[in-house]
Amino acid sequence: MRKLFIAVALLCASCAGEPKQEIPLLDKSAFEQKVGDATTSLYTLRGGDLVMQVTDFGGRIVSLWTPDKDGKMGDVAVGHATIGDYINAPVSRVVGAAVGPVANRIGRGEFEIDGKKYTLELNNNGNTIHSGPKGFDQVVWKVAEQSANSIKFVYESPDGEFGFPGNRKVEMIYTLTPENELAISYKLTTDAATPVNMTNHSFFNLGEEGSSVCGYIMSANASHYTPVDENTLPTGEIAPVEGTPYDFRTAHAIGDNIEAAGGYDNNFVIDNYDGSVKSAVTVYDPVTGRTMEVLTDQPGIQIYSAGSWTGKSIGKYGNALGKYASLALETQKFPDAMHHENFPSIIVRPDKPYTHTCIYRFGVK
């Protein structure tokens, strides 16, 4: 059996006199591999009560340790233990990754900017998802800066890469704050008009790896959502959640209506959007007492309950990753925005950089 963990982080408990708790960190050498012209690596950040490990392959978050109601640390980021698993046998191609230049779906894999048409590779029921077969999740990002609690990744995407126009430079910063937040900031500049809609695609489990998220209590500051067709492509309607399985305005268990919804994989429209950072979703696990609040300056959030997971993939701690074994909360603009004039535009031009803030705030109760 391969050795998964060799590094150990010692964290002091919050109460004086309590013994230190050992946190087994992922083996850095298991994330060192040649990918294209670059060699990947693994980086460890600490801030507040949080400890996080990220790899430059796709800017992935591979582990995120937070305390439960008893002060016991646990890894809430679902993923794998080696870079090989992320490349060859991931439970999801985008697990833990920075997704772009356009996350989510583009209808028919085509769009038009200023009268010029562009065609992308199709990889999702006749449409394009997460920029096609390859995107920012499949490249090795450069580490521009690193401190004890923060890391700055940069990536330069040439004109035409993945089928998108413009020479683009992306800066992405992960920071662990004293308030037990994982703050993510994005900035993208371009020399030509181009669509941009980035997100982080971490899958979270606030309990034990492989356990169901259906018992979590979730609320969403969203009175509307964007309905989809049989291929999960938005119809263009912005519909009220009232009377549907998508109504989380009052907190209740994720599993209450999950079967009626066919599993959740939907864009929720955040109330009172004005470009400032607002609370979008709050999740609470009654078993561990862990809470997670998602805040963002974006107008939407995709809630995905891993309904397509089959249990064939194994997580980093040896447990099967089955149906409803995690929850992705992806801050974003709306899917397929290029084909719906009533959706916020995702076209970025040279005179105004793209920016995006996402905060995952952890706590207990």
Enzyme catalytic residues: 201, 330
CA–CA dist 44, 31 (Å, integer)? 12
CA–CA dist 65, 277 (Å, integer)? 24
Please report the sign of the dihedral spanned by the C-alpha atoms of residue 179, residue 140, residue 352, residue 122.
negative
Burial 125-138 (b: 16+ CB within 10 A, else e): eebbbbbbeebbbb
Q: With contact defined as beta carbons under 8 Å apart, do 293 and 279 qualify?
A: yes
Q: Tell me the two tokens of residue 264.
A: 């959740």
Number of C-alpha atoms within 13 angstroms, CB side, residue 71? 11
